[in-house]
Structure 1
Amino acid sequence: MTIATEQAQQETFEADWVAWHDRHETARAAEHGFLAVTGLHWLTEEPTRFDDAPGAWSTGSDGPVVELDDGESLLVDGVTVTGRHAFGPIAERGGIVAAFGDAVVEVAKRGGSDIIRPRHPDNPLRTHYRGTPAYAPDARWAVPARFVPFDRPREVTVDAAVEGLQHVYEAPGVVEFELDGVPQRLTVFNGSAPGSLFALFTDATSGVTTYAANRSLEIAAPGADGSVLLDFTRAVNLPCAYTEFAICPLPPSENRLAVAIEAGERIPAERSAR
């Protein structure tokens, strides 16, 4: 390969990365994205009011329930609700979004408990957000790898950014790869798109130039031969890197790499300021 060809490929790689990261930043700063979250409220059987959402909230056999006073309402699935409204049981990592004014409230289940997280577009964390620093994109961090499935998927329990909470994910296998000639592997979980995967990991940069607790890497569905590409330039921060109102999963112990992955998103200014 000529120097000119290598340079052209790097320029294309950089342009693709910039376009991807711009889309990612736009989604992160959306008016009802996680930067807009103003509170994390754990529901109990006792109806409780919170400053950042209408109604008194509780949970029980009907799932999350809100009791709205006169003059209060929520828009749920396009329908205005008043008085008492039961959302029904919510699946783990599932959720419903209800709107009020220019804000919304996320009604969800995390770690086996029902929660609400109001999201207000004028939250200072969102309005003051100026973007996340990242390492310059370098094609050498797009690493070929091989997906090795387990005989059968395994349930993997991981800790969370909130003390005392755990998450359970289904792991279909591991990805194996090399960095500077040294074999590495990551346990991977099922991704949101059919056949896709994702990995939670830390490395030698964690707590130094990148967020200490975790980063996440999306991985496209493996080829028929198990081949995958690990593009570490697209390793991103989870919400807990920005806000205390997140309950993000931490990596399994085997995904704490000793090598420095000098690629992807770095410590956000919001975390550095705290």
Structure 2
Amino acid sequence: MTGRYGFGVLGERSGIDAGAGDAVIEVARRGGFDIVRPRHPENPLRVRFKGVPAYEPTEKWQLTGRYVPFEQPRDVTVGAAVEGLEHVYESPGRVEFEAGGVALALTVFNGQTPGALFALFVDETSGVTTYAANRSLAIDAPAGDGTVVLDFNRATNLVCAYTDHATCPLPPRENHLPVAVEAGEKIPYERVTTS
């Protein structure tokens, strides 16, 4: 099969899957670069996927915090799971909270729905029981007084936890939490080495 298709201008962090027969490729834009990634529906990682291990949910990691908006949203440049690539996210503010008697804060980014937020973070479990590079936490829109709920039981891995071919963003330096967040998703089974 031959032919030509113009994808037009792709926005940052957007992409299009194109397929022909059983072949699929993703054409996307990441960190200011246009990329092409093959997708293999029969890849053993996908076909033999066992699910994601996670900590047992606990109320201990359902925390109340306070959203503190910046005077003006700020562009925050973060690294990527791929060397030499950077991502830029708009941050409207930060969330301040406490865990185990320690005052903490996370720089947050705009979420997928209006008013919602998300944070990329690492903590003292990163590289031990949770994926080393990052985890993500979705946060519902703040209440009128700025109150937010941080439910770390819902902390999730990004795609790079499962494949070395992802361009996932890394957390900003200030989102390296000096506590062990023993909640949410753990290192995927496929990444656990046995000796």
Identify the TM-score tier after normalising by the shorter chain: over 0.9
Q: Does residue 142 of structure 2 align to residue 230 of structure 1?
A: no
Q: Does residue 150 of structure 2 align to residue 195 of structure 1?
A: no
Distance 2:99 2:12 in 1: 36
- Please list the CA deviations of residues 116-171 of structure 1 after superposition, one character each: whole Å capped at 9, or x if unmatched: 12222211110111011100011121101110000000000000000111000000
Tell me the equivalent position of 2:182.
Answer: 262
Partner residue of 1:111 out of 26, 31, 37: 31
- Please list the CA deviations of residues 28-63 of structure 1 after superposition, one character each: whole Å capped at 9, or x if unmatched: xxxxxxxxxxxxxxxxxxxxxxxxxxxxxxxxxxxx
**Identity within the alignment, %:** 65
Tell me the equivalent position of 2:192.
Answer: 272
Partner residue of 1:209 out of 123, 129, 133: 129
- Please list the CA deviations of residues 180-200 of structure 1 after superposition, one character each: whole Å capped at 9, or x if unmatched: 222110000001111110000
* Corresponding letter in the other structure for 1:120: H
Q: Does residue 39 of structure 2 align to residue 96 of structure 1?
A: no
Tell me the equivalent position of 2:40.
Answer: 120
Tell me the equivalent position of 1:130.
Answer: 50
Distance 1:103 1:235 in 2: 32
Give the RMSD, CA atoms, in angstroms: 1.2
Secondary structure of the 2:5 match is strand
Deviation at 1:263, TM superposition (A): 0.3
Distance 1:169 1:269 in 2: 30
The higher relative CO (CA closer than 8 Å, separation ≥ 6) is in 2
Secondary structure of the 1:109 match is strand
Q: List structure 1 runs of 4+ shifted beyond 4 angstroms.
A: none
> Which consecutive unaligned segments of at least 5 residues does structure 2 have?
none
Partner residue of 1:165 out of 85, 92, 96: 85
Q: Does residue 85 of structure 2 align to residue 85 of structure 1?
A: no
TM-score, normalised via structure 2 length: 0.96
- Please list the CA deviations of residues 216-268 of structure 1 after superposition, one character each: whole Å capped at 9, or x if unmatched: 00001111111110000000111111101101000000000111100001111
Secondary structure of the 2:57 match is coil
TM-score, normalised via structure 1 length: 0.69
Partner residue of 1:252 out of 168, 172, 175: 172
Secondary structure of the 2:71 match is strand
> Which consecutive unaligned segments of at least 5 residues does structure 1 have?
1-70, 73-82
Distance 1:190 1:165 in 2: 21
* Corresponding letter in the other structure for 2:60: R
- Please list the CA deviations of residues 65-117 of structure 1 after superposition, one character each: whole Å capped at 9, or x if unmatched: xxxxxx24xxxxxxxxxx22221121111112222224432111111111112
* Corresponding letter in the other structure for 1:265: E
Tell me the equivalent position of 2:70.
Answer: 150
Tell me the equivalent position of 2:60.
Answer: 140
**Aligned pair count?**
194
* Corresponding letter in the other structure for 2:94: V
* Corresponding letter in the other structure for 1:232: F
Bigger Rg, which one: 1
Tell me the equivalent position of 1:178.
Answer: 98
**Structure whose residues are more often helix by fraction:** 1
